[in-house]
């Protein structure tokens, strides 16, 4: 079944012109990436929920894989400890990645007034 958005075979740029094909493929990939990208949180509470969920999921997956390795290899508790450690590290990496993406998308205003420190009193 033919794509209804594709040009007819006799249209210019649909023959052996590789640059036109490359432009169409790039446009389709950009549209696909834009449509399938997860929405970025617009506020800090959404970001906190996302970070907490990603961290918790990483630790649970690491613990589960470690427990499974312990059960299969009968090396208890080494697999669980290693799995928890790797899950914790993965969770921290996910939090750093999410917070840096949020900081790039929502930069701090350099003209914002500074908040006075309470320790100076």
The pLDDT value recorded for residue 68 is 95
The pLDDT value recorded for residue 118 is 72
Give, for all 121 residues of the chain, the pLDDT tens digit.
Answer: 556 666 555 555 455 678 888 889 899 888 887 776 666 667 778 888 989 999 999 999 999 999 999 999 998 899 999 999 999 999 999 999 988 888 888 888 888 888 877 766 5
Position 14 in a domain: no
The pLDDT value recorded for residue 54 is 93
Crossing angle, helix 78-105 and helix 44-73, to 10 degrees? 160
Contact 94, 85 (CB under 8 A): no
Position 4 in a domain: no
What is the phi/psi pair of residue 29, to 5°?
A: -65, -40
Residues in the chain: 121
Alpha carbon distance 84, 69 (integer Å): 12
Position 110 in a domain: no
Position 118 in a domain: no
| Structural domain count of the chain | 1
Q: Which long-range contacts (CB under 8 A, 24 or more apart) does 105-112 make?
A: 105/40
Domain span holding position 64: 44-105
Position 22 in a domain: no
Position 64 in a domain: yes
Return the structure tokens found at 18.
């590789």
Position 16 in a domain: no
Position 121 in a domain: no
The pLDDT value recorded for residue 63 is 96
Alpha carbon distance 113, 81 (integer Å): 46
């Amino acid at each position: 079944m033919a794509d209804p958005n594709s040009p007819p075979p006799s249209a210019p740029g649909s023959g052996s012109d590789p640059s036109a094909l490359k432009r169409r493929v790039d446009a389709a990939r950009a549209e696909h990436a834009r449509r399938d990208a997860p929405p970025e949180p617009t506020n800090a509470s959404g970001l906190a929920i996302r970070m907490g969920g990603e961290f918790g999921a990483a630790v649970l997956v690491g613990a589960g894989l470690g427990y499974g390795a312990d059960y299969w290899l009968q090396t208890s508790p080494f697999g669980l400890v290693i799995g928890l450690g790797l899950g914790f590290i993965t969770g921290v990496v996910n939090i750093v990645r999410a917070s840096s993406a949020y900081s790039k998308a929502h930069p701090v205003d350099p003209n914002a007034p500074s908040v006075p420190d309470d320790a100076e009193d």
